[in-house]
Amino acid sequence: MTAAGDDAERSDGEERRINPSEQVGGTRRFLPAVEGMRACAAIGVVITHVAFDTGHSSGIDGRLFGRFDLAVAVFFALSGFLLWRSHAAAARGLASRPSTGRYLRSRVVRIMPAYVVAVVVILTLLPDGNHPNVTVWLANLSLTQVYVPLTLTAGLTQMWSLSVEVSFYLALPILAILAARLPVRARVPAIAVLAVASWFWGWIPFAAPAGLNPLMWPPAFFSWFAAGMLLAEWIHTPLGWPHRLARRRLVLAVGVVVAYLVAASPLAGPAGLVPSSPAQFTVKTAMGALVAAGLVAPLVLDRPDENHRLLGSAPMVTLGRWSYGIFIWHLAALTMVFPVIGQFSFRGHMPEVLALTLVFSIAIAAVSYALVESPCREALRRWESRTKPPPTPGGGDAVSPRQEDAIAP
């Protein structure tokens, strides 16, 4: 049956029964607590890199601090949720289908200006003892470093995850077209099956050249995006077990802690940057999906009047707005901290290094947001307002432009 036929097949009773705006907080156009969670994820990424650079890369503390890298899973889940919920709403006749052109323009303007500035400054000025060649420049400027051997370079190694996320951005319109051909009731099972299948990416015997790691390619992390996509589907369904579970915060908190501890254990691989086995990688990615889902679900499957006081507070929302800058600049900030305190890397002093790295990162991120990110987004909105008519009442995207523009890690 065609997608149009499937739309016609949905009963009026189902449409009346599903009234997301009255049931689930995640249908609101702007979610302050989601911004706050993005801030927490950015801080988590900073913690794991500071821990490694101060020598906490082995033993119990190395495992626990090192697994803060699952903050990337939270970023991916937030992207999956915020970008997919418009498509989930459209599939149920609750919103018009998002414009692919507008979507791609917003992604480019959100990601590239601040990123290009960071790459140029870091590759030009960061002392590393090596002068990057043309391949390193091109791979980093084009966000293709996970596909080009030996192009993850000092000050920019964290950008592997941004490269993966951009690949998801490009694939999302295709995924949406494929999902639109499915009956609504099949969308959640299809996403879940693909998510579970992605856990076994590490078992594929790739003959990758030296310096290239297939475990950094996008399919390996689809389950992290899928965690958010499933939540996006559930905010448009009648109240059921996902909603009830999401509203039992203590139960979810215990589940998140258990999944995190499993991810930090030898079951998910050795401490530090030592490569893991396929089985260990499967455990890590599966636990990452559970951690991300457990942290995001209470923010989007909550009751509409739920008040997330800490995550939704003005300071956390502001940090969430700056989180992209924190992410892209924090390794450069970390490099600056050691000369300031008169210490070398891998010799301890984690508390002061972490505090100064956060201060420097937040300061640079605030400047980046004010001088680069916000002006570029505003310029795009002004251009679109001149070239497109205003949305019709009840139509348009289900995501606030302010929220959608702050998705990247």
pLDDT tens readout for residues 41-74: 999 999 999 999 999 888 898 899 999 999 999 9
Amino acid letter, 152: L
CB-CB contact of 301 with 242 (8 Å): yes
DSSP-derived letter for residue 304 is: T
Tokens of 273: 């940057």
**How confident is the model over 348-372, as a mean pLDDT?**
96
Give the burial class of 84: count Cβ atoms within 10 A of its Cβ; 0-12 exposed, 13-18 middle, 19 or more buried: buried
pLDDT of res. 402? 53
Q: How far is residue 339's CA from residue 2's CA, in Å, rounded to a whole number?
A: 63
Q: How far is residue 72's CA from residue 287's CA, in Å, rounded to a whole number?
A: 12
Q: What is the DSSP string of 129-154?
A: SS---HHHHHHHHTT-TTTSTT---T
**How confident is the model over 301-313, as a mean pLDDT?**
91
pLDDT band, very low/low/confident/very high, at 128 (cuts 50, 70, 90): low
pLDDT of res. 406? 41
Is the pLDDT reported for residue 127 higher than 80? no
pLDDT band, very low/low/confident/very high, at 390 (cuts 50, 70, 90): low
Q: How far is residue 171's CA from residue 155's CA, in Å, rounded to a whole number?
A: 27
CB-CB contact of 330 with 357 (8 Å): yes
pLDDT of res. 11? 35
Is the pLDDT reported for residue 8 higher than 80? no
pLDDT of res. 94? 92
Is the dihedral angle over the CA atoms 287, 288, 290, 291 positive or is it negative? positive
Contacts of 300 by beta carbon, 8 Å cutoff, 6+ apart = 24, 25, 26, 31, 34, 81, 231, 232, 235, 246
pLDDT band, very low/low/confident/very high, at 10 (cuts 50, 70, 90): very low
Q: How far is residue 72's CA from residue 39's CA, in Å, rounded to a whole number?
A: 12
Element spanning 228, H or E: helix 222-234
Amino acid letter, 405: D
Of 33, 76, 98, nearest in space to 226 by CA: 76
Q: How far is residue 328's CA from residue 373's CA, in Å, rounded to a whole number?
A: 12
The overall average pLDDT reported for the chain is 89
Local structure of 110: helix, strand or coil: helix
Instruction: Supply the pTM of this predicted model.
Output: 0.90
CB-CB contact of 299 with 97 (8 Å): no
